Amino acid sequence: AQSVTQLGSHVSVSEGALVLLRCNYSSSVPPYLFWYVQYPNQGLQLLLKYTTGATLVKGINGFEAEFKKSETSFHLTKPSAHMSDAAEYFCAVSGGTNAGKSTFGDGTTLTVKP
């Protein structure tokens, strides 16, 4: 079985500050890891993904995440928050026989203060 834990259901940062959203996963097989963003009243949009290869992955809107196998983590960062980054963020894991069956974390609400 696979699982995801997102530490912190709410994160608040000031505009221009570093954004750090934490995700830890559990998987008995090499994982595929994803971050999705959901703006109010919209569907989820894929921000970035780790499949294999380079452990630092870059996504859209200036976000990036680093896969750390030893820490079973896949934290999402952005150097400088923008007001438009305020949204719900979901980390997800799949892999092995569960390729294509993503298990999602409970989400983190990011608030950006002016």
Partner 1 sequence: DTAVSQTPKYLVTQMGNDKSIKCEQNLGHDTMYWYKQDSKKFLKIMFSYNNKELIINETVPNRFSPKSPDKAHLNLHINSLELGDSAVYFCASSQIRQTRDYGYTFGSGTRLTVV
Q: Which of 82, 40, 30, 42 is nearest to 60 (CA)?
A: 82
Find the shortest distance in angstroms from Cβ 28 to partner 1. Answer: 15
Contact residue for partner 1 among 15, 17, 49, 72 (CB under 8 A): 49
Q: Does residue number 56 form part of the binding site for partner 1 (CB under 8 A)?
A: no
Helix/strand number for the chain, H first, E second: 0, 11
Contact residue for partner 1 among 7, 18, 20, 46 (CB under 8 A): 46
- For CA atoms 8, 15, 90, 75, give the dihedral sign: negative
Cβ atoms of residues 34 and 25 within 8 Å:
no
Q: Does residue number 106 form part of the binding site for partner 1 (CB under 8 A)?
A: yes
The binding site for partner 1 (CB under 8 A) comprises 32, 34, 36, 38, 41-46, 49, 51, 88, 90, 94-97, 99-104, 106-107
